[in-house]
Amino acid sequence: MLLEQFINGMTLGSIYAIVALGFTLVFGVLGIINMAHGEIFMVGAFVGVMTTGVLGWPLWLAFVASIVVTSILGYLLETFTLRPLRGKRGVSHLAPLISTIGVSILLENLSHHLFGAGNKPFRTEFAEMSIEIGSLTIYIVQIVIFVISIILMIGLSIWLSKTKAGKALRATAENLETASILGVDTKKIITLTVIIASAMGGIAGILVGMAFNSVSPQMGLAIGLKGLAIIILGGMGNVKGAMVGGLILGLSETFLVAYGDSGYRDAIAFIMIIVILLLRPQGIFGSKIAEGR
């Protein structure tokens, strides 16, 4: 029972971690919170539902479609909402926050109109399959989700630390002007960051669809807010923090549902951020709080 809950928690937590990575990448490079990330993620989930359910595509093709669609959304987000605000005089630091809230409202209500308000089931061919080890039941879906998340996290870490583009991204995150003086095409890196973050949101969307077997226009908000809570928990812009924070939230939610009051499940994330902001505002892994943000 305990081990089973632990596995459930890890599965949920690894999805949360992927969502949070999207937030943390954008925050690390641009210093803004992308409130539309949750809705991009939701669109990714709907692309998954439509391609596998309506068109009957295999799962891997659904992943590709979702990544393509969310990448385009990320590109549009950068071009039309983030870039016009950058480097403009007299724009307060709250402007990108409000602007991305605008995008999130737009996307949520657009999908409300397109797909309807209700939950859509997400069918996978191996939804009911499970392995039994002794008294332990593990669903194949859980393994798939967990493996994909781990691959994604390791891949991102290697990409960030080893490749040239990843190093350029970290340099830009460190200091935009210096990076640009040293010959990094910061404009390209920023666009790339937003696209990668959005694509990760798209993947996370399909993973959540698989895990909960349902997709709705409101899920972007619910999961997006949790992602936000995680990056505060782990430290803003910190990649390791987002992963650990995601796992912590996933585990604590699962154990609360199993042994406590399931009604307060959605409140944990926020109680956690309020507590962490008061005790250690820079987050678990954060080094110092950035000035003026």
Contact pattern for other proteins over residues 134 through 153, marking x by CB under 8 A: --------------------
Q: Which residues pair with 130 in a beta bridge?
A: 139
Task: Measure the CA–CA gap between 82 and 101, rounded to whole angstroms.
Answer: 12
Is 102 near other proteins (CB under 8 A)?
yes
Judged by beta carbon, residue 185 or residue 266, the one nearer other proteins is 266
Q: What is the DSSP letter of 116?
A: -
Closest approach of Cβ 95 to other proteins, in Å?
5
Is 179 near other proteins (CB under 8 A)?
no
How remote is the C-alpha of 240 from its chain's centroid? 14
According to DSSP H, which parts of 95-236 are helical?
A: 95-115, 140-162, 164-174, 176-181, 186-212, 219-234
According to DSSP H, which parts of 83-139 are helical?
A: 95-115
Task: Measure the CA–CA gap between 261 and 241, rounded to whole angstroms.
Answer: 27
Judged by beta carbon, residue 79 or residue 161, the one nearer other proteins is 79
Is 221 near other proteins (CB under 8 A)?
yes
Contact region with other proteins (CB under 8 A), list: 124-132, 138-146, 171-179, 224-232: 224-232
Give the SS3 label for residue 120.
Answer: strand
Q: Which residues pair with 214 in a beta bridge?
A: 121
Residue 154 neighbours by CB under 8 Å, 6+ apart? none
Closest approach of Cβ 27 to other proteins, in Å?
9
Both tokens of residue 279? Answer: 């005790």
- Of the residues 64, 140, 225, 256, which one makes contact with other proteins according to CB under 8 A: 225
Site for other proteins in 229-248 (CB under 8 A): 229, 232
Judge contact between 280 and 271, C-beta under 8 A: no
Amino acid at residue number 150:
I
How remote is the C-alpha of 143 from its chain's centroid? 19
Judged by beta carbon, residue 112 or residue 123, the one nearer other proteins is 112
Judged by beta carbon, residue 31 or residue 53, the one nearer other proteins is 31
- Of the residues 7, 64, 72, 105, which one makes contact with other proteins according to CB under 8 A: 105
Contact pattern for other proteins over residues 7 through 46, marking x by CB under 8 A: -------------------------xx-------------
| Interface positions with other proteins (CB under 8 A) | 32-33, 80-81, 84-85, 90-99, 101-110, 113, 221, 225, 228-229, 232, 261, 263-264, 266-267, 269-271, 273-274, 277-278, 281, 289, 292-293
